[in-house]
Amino acid sequence: MQPHQFAPFAIPFAAALRSGAGVAVVCAPKGSPRFFCQPEGDLDCAARPVFFAVPWLGRFGKGISIAACISPGQAELLPDRGFIPDDPHGTSTPRAEYLSRVAELIAEIRGTGGKTVFSRRIVADFPSSFSVSQLIATAMSALDAAPASTFRTLFFSPRCGLWLSESPEVLVDYDRASSRLSTIALAGTRPSGATGPWDRKNILEQEMVTRFIADSLADCGWQFSHSEPGSRPAGPVEHIATTFTASPAPGRLTNVVETINRLSPTPALCGAPRPLSIERISRLESHSREMYGGYFGVSDSRRFTAAVTLRCARLGLNRCAVFAGGGITAQSVPADEWTESARKAGGVLASLGLSYSDHNCIIPDSARSIALSGFCS
């Protein structure tokens, strides 16, 4: 990826946000960023490419959609109506609460088997308020610095706020001409660059995701093949990945929307069995996941592509909230899971110029000055 691919979109994105328009910039792995902007009341967008984002436990069509109605240059001319992204509410998940609830979850799983993905939220106050332009410039710098192998986006809607995601997990990539679909079973986590074989806990966690995806594709009428599992880096951590390639089974009708609704949320963001994992998450997590654990993507005349919304943050002018989780199994150790989630959250915070600690988040002056260079409003 060439540097500064996202930076040119900072000015039109900020202008669109201040006008109250839905706006998104999104880039598929090793691709080029695409700009989507749909001003309020703009109805002449039929057959245009569409960006979509679906919240946790949402179904396709029930989230937000932003059509590519106007160009970046046209977005810069939108009237300033004073819109700003709301700051996320609430506080960080306390360490003691997290460790206690993960221990409770482990005890339950030892009786039932399976896996549940438990998440926490890290809220960071900026040392001084950003303007809209400064915040968007910082977010675009973060996306430019993210690995080219990730699916990156910044999107805003008055319905859900301003979100950034640097996702390593493609949920669905569907080619309309060939009717071929690909997806990935991504799970298990360890520090990036670790040597030696994966431990049993992470292998079993990823195998659950692989089985779920295989069963889901078969149920939806796809015939498929998949790769052998292998390590895949994702910034400060790496995961075990198995890639699936699918096409319609003979005599079966397939539907990509039905498939994505069947796949989401995968055990990589929810757990297995899914209904029990959803109940546990609702009962034990003290925060709303909002967009975290849902998915975002693009639908146009050629492709339908979506990625899981993770390695993500909700951004405001004064603070941000980063979401991170991990798969809890009978072999989990609460303190290790806390450390794993810290690594995941730390990568997102670092891309925003913030540093992670268990107690606070600090933005270094040097990082902030670099992020804001060239912006004065």
One-character DSSP codes across 106-130 = HHHHHHH-SEEEEEEEEEEE-SSPP
Q: How many domains, in total, are found in the chain? A: 1
pLDDT at residue 15, as a whole number: 98
Q: Is 86 helix (H, G, I), strand (E, B) or coil?
A: coil
Using pLDDT thresholds of 50, 70 and 90, give the confidence band for residue 333: very high
User: In this model, does residue 375 exceed pLDDT 70?
Assistant: no
Question: Residue 172: what pLDDT?
Answer: 97
Residue 207 within any structural domain of the chain: yes
Please, which residues have CB within 8 angstroms of residue 25's CB and are 6 or more apart in sequence? 6, 9, 13, 33, 34, 35, 36, 140, 143, 153, 154, 155
Mean per-residue pLDDT for 90-107?
Answer: 96
Longest dimension (CA), the chain: 62
Of 134, 19, 126, 81, which is closest to residue 374 (Cα–Cα)? 134
| Nearby residues of 333 by Cβ (< 8 Å), 6 or more positions away | none
Q: Which residue has the tokens 């960006």?
A: 51
340 inside domain: yes
User: Over 90: is that where the pLDDT of 142 sits?
Assistant: yes
CB 308 within 8 A of CB 146: no
- Answer yes or no: is 377 within a domain: no
Residue 366 domain boundaries: 7-372
Q: Is 174 part of a structural domain of the chain?
A: yes
pLDDT in tens, 301-325: 999 999 999 999 999 999 999 999 9
Residue 13 belongs to a domain = yes
Work out the average pLDDT over 318-338: 96
Structural domain contains residue 1? no
Q: Is residue 286 part of a domain?
A: yes
Q: What is the pLDDT of residues 21-79, one digit of tens each?
A: 999 999 999 899 999 999 986 556 777 999 999 999 999 989 999 999 999 999 999 99
Cα end-to-end span (Å), the chain:
28
| Short-list 200, 167, 164, CA closest to 321 | 164
2 within some domain: no
Closest CA to 268 of 322, 311, 222, 209: 209
Q: What percent of the chain has pLDDT over 70?
A: 93
List pLDDT tens digits, range 203-229: 999 999 999 999 999 999 999 999 999
In this structure, which amino acid lies at residue 307?
A: A
**pLDDT for the residue numbered 358:** 55
The per-residue pLDDT for 44 is 64
Tell me the CATH number at 338. 3.60.120.10
